[in-house]
Amino acid sequence: MEAGAAPRAQLAQIEEEIADAQDAASLRKTLYGPDLTDAQSEEMLAAADRRYERRKAAFDKTRELVAAGVATESSLADRQLELDLARSEAELASTRAKVVHELTTMAEQEAALEEKLHTAPSAAHEAGERFDGNGLFNSHTFARVESAFESRFGKPLPVSAMGETAVHRALGFNHIGRVDVAINPDQPEGIWLREFLAENHIPYFAFRQAVPGKATGAHIHIGPQSTRLAHGG
Ligand SMILES: [Zn+2]
């Protein structure tokens, strides 16, 4: 063996362990953290994938060692367990990333509408339907909406953004005191919700689709229009 090869291999293994620990720390903040942006969600996916690939490599290596008779079957079972866990984590990351992306699409639609209302108020209806009601929306109003929806449909209101989120902050958008509901305004639940809000004079914006022909981003924003933060996010 070449002199220094063993220490170099050891060093490589230590570096690999450090990288893995860094990915685990990153996942604690993103995958298991409260709130994240689209960019953080990309990092979360990459970290979960790297953790999975490392465990796949460890499993394959142990399988070879077992075949060669130098490792036990039980050590392979351990690697299998770690691999399964990493796979579940990667799947969870993928699901979470989809939710964050959907939330970002919704927030971007609201930002686009705000921009349109600013520059060409007459063209704004293309982006969404606006109902001003009495302009009032607070936690009591929201509680009424929630319980009416639940008694009508027998399931909780699918809230996608409750007030301000990291996605809104990243867009420099003030979403405090507003609620987004992941319901297509033209589906039965959306039609019912718009009628309920109108009857109760609760302000809302209905967003149909971000991209023509694609259902993504459709939602109902309850509360007054979001405003751009004066000094960005
Ligand atoms: Zn909103």
What is the 101 CA–ligand 1 centroid distance (Å)? Answer: 15
Q: Which residue has the higher pLDDT, 121 or 90?
A: 90
Q: How far is the CA of 178 from the centre of ligand 1 (A)?
A: 6
Whether the CB-CB separation of 82 and 58 falls below 8 Å is answered with yes
Pairwise pLDDT comparison (45 vs 227), residue with the higher score:
45
**For the segment 42-97, what is each residue's pLDDT rounded down to a tens digit?**
999 999 999 999 999 999 999 999 999 999 999 999 999 999 999 999 999 999 99
pLDDT at 139: 93
Residues with CB under 5 A from ligand 1 (ion): 178, 180, 221
CB atoms within 10 A of CB 15: 10
- What's the 184 CA to ligand 1 centre distance in angstroms? 14
Integer CA distances (angstroms), 185 to 46, 88, 190, 206, 216, in order = 34, 33, 4, 6, 12
Helices 73-119 and 38-67 pack at an angle, to 10 degrees, of 170
**Which of 179, 178, 139, 175 lies closest to 158 in space, CA to CA?**
179
Each domain of the chain, given as residue ranges in start order, spans 5-101, 128-228
Distance from the alpha carbon of residue 68 to the mean position of ligand 1, in angstroms: 60
φ/ψ (deg, to 5) at 110:
-65, -40
